[in-house]
Amino acid sequence: MRSDGRSPDQLRPLSIEPGFLAFADGSVLISLGRTRVICAATVEEKVPPWMRGRGSGWVTAEYAMLPQATPERNQREAVKGKLGGRTHEIQRLIGRALRAVVDLDKLGERSVVVDCDVIGADGGTRTASITGAWVALNLALRRHFDPEKKSAWPIVGQIAAVSVGIVGGTPVLDLPYDEDSTAEVDMNVAMTDAGGFVELQGTAEREPFSRAHLDALLGLADAGIRELFAAQRAALDRA
Amino acid sequence: MRSDGRSPDQLRPLSIEPGFLAFADGSVLISLGRTRVICAATVEEKVPPWMRGRGSGWVTAEYAMLPQATPERNQREAVKGKLGGRTHEIQRLIGRALRAVVDLDKLGERSVVVDCDVIGADGGTRTASITGAWVALNLALRRHFDPEKKSAWPIVGQIAAVSVGIVGGTPVLDLPYDEDSTAEVDMNVAMTDAGGFVELQGTAEREPFSRAHLDALLGLADAGIRELFAAQRAALDRA
Amino acid sequence: MRSDGRSPDQLRPLSIEPGFLAFADGSVLISLGRTRVICAATVEEKVPPWMRGRGSGWVTAEYAMLPQATPERNQREAVKGKLGGRTHEIQRLIGRALRAVVDLDKLGERSVVVDCDVIGADGGTRTASITGAWVALNLALRRHFDPEKKSAWPIVGQIAAVSVGIVGGTPVLDLPYDEDSTAEVDMNVAMTDAGGFVELQGTAEREPFSRAHLDALLGLADAGIRELFAAQRAALDRA
Amino acid sequence: MRSDGRSPDQLRPLSIEPGFLAFADGSVLISLGRTRVICAATVEEKVPPWMRGRGSGWVTAEYAMLPQATPERNQREAVKGKLGGRTHEIQRLIGRALRAVVDLDKLGERSVVVDCDVIGADGGTRTASITGAWVALNLALRRHFDPEKKSAWPIVGQIAAVSVGIVGGTPVLDLPYDEDSTAEVDMNVAMTDAGGFVELQGTAEREPFSRAHLDALLGLADAGIRELFAAQRAALDRA
Amino acid sequence: MRSDGRSPDQLRPLSIEPGFLAFADGSVLISLGRTRVICAATVEEKVPPWMRGRGSGWVTAEYAMLPQATPERNQREAVKGKLGGRTHEIQRLIGRALRAVVDLDKLGERSVVVDCDVIGADGGTRTASITGAWVALNLALRRHFDPEKKSAWPIVGQIAAVSVGIVGGTPVLDLPYDEDSTAEVDMNVAMTDAGGFVELQGTAEREPFSRAHLDALLGLADAGIRELFAAQRAALDRA
Amino acid sequence: MRSDGRSPDQLRPLSIEPGFLAFADGSVLISLGRTRVICAATVEEKVPPWMRGRGSGWVTAEYAMLPQATPERNQREAVKGKLGGRTHEIQRLIGRALRAVVDLDKLGERSVVVDCDVIGADGGTRTASITGAWVALNLALRRHFDPEKKSAWPIVGQIAAVSVGIVGGTPVLDLPYDEDSTAEVDMNVAMTDAGGFVELQGTAEREPFSRAHLDALLGLADAGIRELFAAQRAALDRA
């Protein structure tokens, strides 16, 4: 039994609320238990300098946390004057994951920036960001493309992500902070609806893990991500 | 008639939702039309170095905007690597306003940090921040002090703020962005429930203003702030 | 009686020395008692990127303090690696005040940068900067425009500024540092020679202030600024 | 057949030269083809502030590249004024990998800093850094601990890392830059001599990958890492 | 004949005005033609961390230029966010030169910071800074030590500096900017009143220079510096 | 007798190994005893903005030290977020020295960047950098120009540099760190093969130095630099 009463293969209570920000092209508030992230996507009619003239687009992400999203107030990176290593790592991860399901040529010379701002941080903020960002990306692109015109619609797949880990010897799905901080192994998995892996990042925090453990974790992730796919589609239908 | 149909002396639709963040000591989401600010207060058991050993406390504020809080996405200050002049000015203003109604000696050697994170920016974000911050400050201090013990309770007054300005020759209350950007005069007023001014910042954006105009603006502000006081108290009662 | 023997409505000894810097287009050394500021203006044949192509100009200000302008040596902002909040706030104020009396269309696509470098800081440096900057601005523009050709001369009014405050219950004019640091209310007022307000920034440092106090302070400021106007004109005549 | 004539399961020519820097506690120059990294380890008699007083130690890594380590000269991060996202990500990875095989309690209140400075960058610099860093770490700790006293020797396992990927549909080992830049999947694997995974970071650069692909890649990595283990031990024997 | 009518061995008009800043421990305004520098010295009752506990002191210098000290306005280093290479080089030079004539043990655990702020830059600002800084240093130390008590007075020699160079084939003394910018050789010389060199920095800007040229330049510098010594002493007598 | 057994006029063991980096246009590893510097030159088809359109080129240098190049690990400047004063000073020196022997017009609108990365720091790193950089510069330019076509070859002279100093009253050549840190006088000399001085930087670290000392130091430098010239030519012949 886990500290919050869930079974090992159970997600936390999940909601995806579309249209959370009044001014963004597309936005959601995604909640997984007390982990809450505002994901907002905006389409810009330009690409980074190194991409100009290719007729192709780009998708990038930024990630930040409100100072009071955590039990201990964390200092703003704007006050520190620079982005930390963890932030860099996470926003590169989110960007790569989204680009895996976007046909950049169909975007044309446009960029989509997806901002993931965490307002509640109870573990799994990077995977929740990917899951929410995919919905925000869809909402934003609907303003520029018609999703019914399949051949021109730039989103070529569905992507969602979840954390899995080994806690006290047991493989578990969707770790809140208290589990995450004591886990032996911590893994983030991003998958597409076609069943392929896009990102697989496993770290042995306390002791190396075996192939058998790896297999168990990938099984849990696969099932959890299918539930996330359903919630993403439901949110898009509601929007 | 104003662009959104209000009369010159009318506030935008106002709500103050307490407890918006799960982990902050005290927090609210304040909305004035499409202007929305998350205000969160945390009490820390330390003071800035220059205050140590005096037995007295401090209240400070930080202000930021989500990149997609505005119609045009604005760049994160953490990405720029520094806080801009406008941010500095606003957070100094919010901090001063709150300290005007706090008895710092009663705080003891504690700091309260109030974070004001704008998620919708349609004019008046700094005044909405002050109004919301006062509620968050109350909620946070309730965890450390008993508001019923009047002699020890550190908050000695109520403070709220509003913008007023002259638009097309007419003094108006609570300017949204479209009015603000064309106003001849822009003024922010922070007042206490005892009727005194704490901050008065008037700027002639297009042409100097007279004593008569000043009097009219102060009258509008006074009435608007009384409505804000009532909403603050109602939010505290609900929390 | 004030600590330096002045009456409540009396300015400190005032001088404005034109041509203080050999290489600037226009410059002055303004002294108000021990508060001394070098104001220097230069016209540049370019405008900020966001103004290009409009045929209109811009006026901006920078403010700094020598490390040893204060009794306690203050650290250089260049050494800290960034401008502080106070500096940002002051240079935005000076720029706004000057733009209020300049017809930016008449400037054409030119910028004027006014540097205000404090070499003695005994209170009122921001208001002395505005007063001195207006003279430096005139001197610099004389090199590019003929002040006799009224229709083309870009300066459309005279502006000066002064601090007022309430010290020990008494409204006083032009506060030196020792009064400023104990004042109940501190207010900066910038006015044009036509009698209108351009900036009004009042802060209750110790206790909120009433309408009656506001009226008294504005009266003092008005009289003091008239003396500053006379000194500005005399400096221009001498140059 | 690969562009450099290797078979899919073959490492590039490998050498580990101990004692490369005159002044470091322990250092090597590791070469895998044209990828060359100077790894240097130093023991410091202090720990980060958040670890003080626990009697336990820490291992951390820094990673950089000479500007002319790459065919196109890359700008120094010291000139840019900040570390990029990729650098942060890599040095966090190296540090985590090393800590997985160090008993931090046995270190006592000491830190080991391992600097990985790339002088030739032809793909796989982060994995070569881990492999070389483990040898440098051993050399440095030999100055403070006796490796023969097993119970006190802080290194509890051997770790090495390698890149694997899918290029043109074929799983391959140890990708040089030209393969890496066109690979469909790129994966870094760090393993211990006990056969467990410490880090597993797979990214679908061009298309998602299946479980079958994952299995093939892990097989290649496992065999390659065994060769690296042998070279590490040989370098230690020579030193 | 030089552009300003001087003979090759003649200094520009020289003045050293003591007590220029109201609040500094010791200050001067030194002028050499249009080159003008405010030098201000302050004694602080602390030393840098690496010197603590030795009972010895330190002397350091900072150097800056007002934006409008030059014919073309130069950008503030505080705005750029960092000190440039030239600034670092100059302030290290000034500090070293002053320390050469101070007995740091006699200072005790105190630091003297000398700020050299250029308000007119017409060549030779670094050498004028050294010459003025020595006077400011004396004035500041007089507040803490009695110059009549020779055995305890920390200043053990007099130092001054001047620029020399080869312009159009002729060795000349004290180059203004127009000569400096076309000189074949540029040299800065700092000497003590005992006749020894403290700093000698010669750079061939256009072509290498011979021993004969070096001898001629050192002769000019020696004579010029003797005049500077006299002016320094006269300023101290006046103060 | 010196601590390492050399006579006062003897260089440390010297080697210049061409082609040290696989990817640079031209590179060497220069060693003078334990002082070792990787010098790498790259030609870029562009010039700094202020030089554009003149048909002339530029040569610039960057200097850095590996953290573990010194007995005490030194912090990376990329981690500090800025280049220190010493770094700025050295890279300006190296750049000036190289430009003294390059005909910038013959370069055309091209830049050469020479990176000097110190991997062993035992005194004299800046002079070793100049000596090695000249060889790297030749190697890089050979890829773009034919050294046999004298009229078009941009390098018009040979330059090398060495340190000299006075240690315990004796003038000595090529100081290692232990001598350098106790020297009374420290001087860096850069000369061309035509016998002229390009840079002469002498600093009295402990006491001022006389003309006689200066003469002795210049004699030592002259002889040492002739040996360096021979080694440079030999390295070029080998390459």
Q: Which of A89, A196, A203 sits opposite D89 (nearest CB)?
A: A89
Nearest-CA distance C170 → chain E (Å) = 28
Q: How far is A89 from F139, CA to CA, in rounded Å?
A: 39
Helix, strand, coil percentages, rounded to 5, for chain A:
35, 30, 35
F33/chain D closest Cα distance in angstroms: 10
Cα F69 to chain centroid, rounded: 17
Question: With contact defined as beta carbons under 8 Å apart, do A199 and A190 qualify?
Answer: yes
Among B198, B217, B225, which would you mutate to test the C interface (most chain C Cβ atoms within 10 Å of its Cβ)? B198
Compute the nearest-CA separation of A94 from chain D (Å): 12
Cα distance between residue C164 and residue D23, in whole Å: 64
Amino acid in position C97? A
Provide the 3-class DSSP secondary structure of residue B177: helix
- Preferred mutation among B20, B119, B137 to probe A, highest tally of A CBs within 10 A: B119
Q: Is C102 left (phi over 0), alpha (psi -120 to 50) or beta?
A: beta
* Neighboring chain A residues of B69 at a CB cutoff of 8 Å: 21, 23
Query: Is E125 labelled as part of a ligand binding site?
Result: yes
Spatial separation of the C-alpha atoms in residues F204 and F183, rounded to whole Å: 9
**What's residue A182's pLDDT?**
92
* CA nearest to E127, candidates E156, E162, E166: E162
For residue D68, give the nearest of F23, F36, F83 by CB distance: F23
CA angle A197, A202, A208 (to 5 degrees): 140
The mean pLDDT of D113-135, rounded to a whole number, is 98
A61 φ, ψ (degrees, to nearest 5): -135, 150
- More confident position, E84 or D39: D39
Q: State the pLDDT confidence band at E78, using cuts at 50, 70 and 90.
A: confident
Contact D208 A196 (CB under 8 A): yes
User: Chain D residues within 8 A (CB-CB) of chain A?
Assistant: 82-86, 88-89, 91-92, 96, 100, 157, 187, 191-192, 194-204, 207-211, 214, 218
Is the pLDDT at A158 greater than 80? The verdict is yes
> Do residues E57 and E109 touch, judged by C-beta distance below 8 A?
yes
Mean pLDDT of A28-43: 98
Shortest Cα distance, chain A CAs vs residue D83, angstroms:
9
Per DSSP, A107 falls in state: H
Chain C residues with CB inside 8 Å of B157's CB? 208
- What tens digit of pLDDT does each residue of B12-58 get? 999 999 999 999 999 999 999 999 999 999 999 999 988 899 999 99
- Look at residue E160 in the predicted model and tell me its pLDDT: 98
pLDDT, residue F135, reads: 98
Residues from chain B contacting residue A73 (CB–CB below 8 Å): 42, 44, 113, 115
Between CA D179 and CA B14 the distance in angstroms is 59
Mean pLDDT (chain A) is 95
Residue F81 pLDDT > 90, yes or no?
A: no
- Please give the interface size between C and E, counted as residue pairs whose CB atoms are below 8 Å apart: 94
- Give me the half-sphere count of Cα atoms (radius 13 Å) on the Cβ side of residue A217: 30
User: Looking at the partner chain, which of F38, F64, F80 has a beta carbon nearest the beta carbon of D119?
Assistant: F38
List Cβ neighbours of E123 (8 Å cut-off, separation of 6 or more).
Answer: E35, E163, E175, E176, E177, E178, E179, E180
Q: Which chains touch F (3 or more CB pairs under 8 A)?
A: D, E
Over the range A44-57, which residues count as b (16 or more CB within 10 Å of their CB) and which as e? eeebeeeeeeeebb
3-state secondary structure chain E: CCCCCCCCCCCCCEEEEECCCCCCCEEEEEEECCEEEEEEEEEECCCCHHHCCCCCCEEEEEEEECHHHCCCCCCCHHHHCCCCHHHHHHHHHHHHHHHCCECHHHHCCCEEEEEEEEEECCCCHHHHHHHHHHHHHHHHHHCCCCCCCCCCCCECCCEEEEEEEEECCEEEECCCHHHHCCCCEEEEEEEECCCCEEEEEEEECCCCECHHHHHHHHHHHHHHHHHHHHHHHHHHHHC
Selected residue of E68, E79, E113, E119 to mutate for chain C interface (largest C Cβ count, 10 A): E68
E195 is in an annotated binding site: no
D124 is in an annotated binding site: yes
Closest by CA to A147, choosing from A136, A158, A159, A155, is A155
Measured between CB atoms, which of E85, E91, E196 is closest to F210? E196
Contact B83 A82 (CB under 8 A): no
Q: How far is B40 from chain A (nearest CA, A)?
A: 7
Q: Tens place of pLDDT for every residue, chain C, 239 residues? A: 798 999 999 999 999 999 999 999 999 999 999 999 999 999 999 999 888 999 999 999 999 999 999 999 999 998 888 888 899 999 999 999 999 999 999 999 999 999 999 999 999 999 999 999 999 999 999 999 999 999 999 999 999 999 999 999 999 999 999 999 999 999 999 999 998 999 999 999 878 999 999 999 999 999 999 999 999 999 999 98
ipTM value:
0.94
For D40, which residue in chain F has the nearest alpha carbon? F68
- Contact call for residues B35 and B123 (beta carbons, < 8 A): yes
Which SS3 state, helix, strand or coil, does residue F234 take? helix
Q: Which of C17, C23, C74 is the best substitution to test chain E (most E C-beta atoms within 10 A)?
A: C23
Q: With a cut of 90, say whether residue A134 has pLDDT above it.
A: yes
Question: Is pLDDT above 90 for B195?
Answer: no
Reading the block at residue D161, the tokens are 């890392």
**Which residues of chain C lie closer than 8 angstroms to B96, CB-CB?**
203
Q: Tell me: pLDDT of F1 over 80.
A: no
Provide the pLDDT for residue E84.
85
Reported as type and span, the H/E element at residue A195 is none
pLDDT of residue D170: 95
Search chain D and give the residue with CA nearest F37.
D21
Distance CA D144, CA E101 (A): 44
Backbone phi, then psi, for B194, in 5-degree steps?
-85, 0
State whether F115 and D67 contact (CB < 8 Å).
yes
Chains near C, with 3+ CB pairs < 8 A? B, E
Q: How confident is the model at residue B3 (pLDDT cuts 50, 70, 90)?
A: confident
User: Which residues on neighbouring strands pair with residue B199, listed in sequence order?
Assistant: B190, C203
pLDDT over threshold 90, residue A81 = no
- Residues in C whose CB is inside 8 Å of some CB of B read 82-86, 88-89, 91-92, 96, 100, 157, 187, 191-192, 194-204, 207-211, 214, 218
Please report, for residues A167, A189, A206, D52, the alpha-carbon distance to residue A181 in angstroms, rounded to integers and kept in the order given: 9, 18, 10, 20
In terms of CA atoms, which chain A residue is nearest residue D201? A201
Q: How many residues are listed for chain F in this entry?
A: 239
Determine what percent of chain D falls in helix, strand and coil, rounding each to the nearest 5: 35, 30, 35
Under 8 Å between Cβ of E165 and E207: no
pTM of structure: 0.87
Contact assessment for residue F24 and residue F41, using Cβ atoms and an 8 Å cutoff: yes
Give residue ranges of A with CB < 8 Å to any D CB: 82-86, 88-89, 91-92, 96, 100, 157, 187, 191-192, 194-204, 207-211, 214, 218
Binding site feature residues of F: 86, 124-126
With contact defined as beta carbons under 8 Å apart, do B27 and B38 qualify?
Answer: yes
Q: Which amino acid, C3?
A: S
Is F100–E204 a contact, with Cβ atoms under 8 angstroms apart?
A: yes
Nearest Cβ partner for F62 among D38, D76, D82: D76
pLDDT at D78 over 90: no
| Cα–Cα distance for residue pair C159/F72, rounded to 1 Å | 59
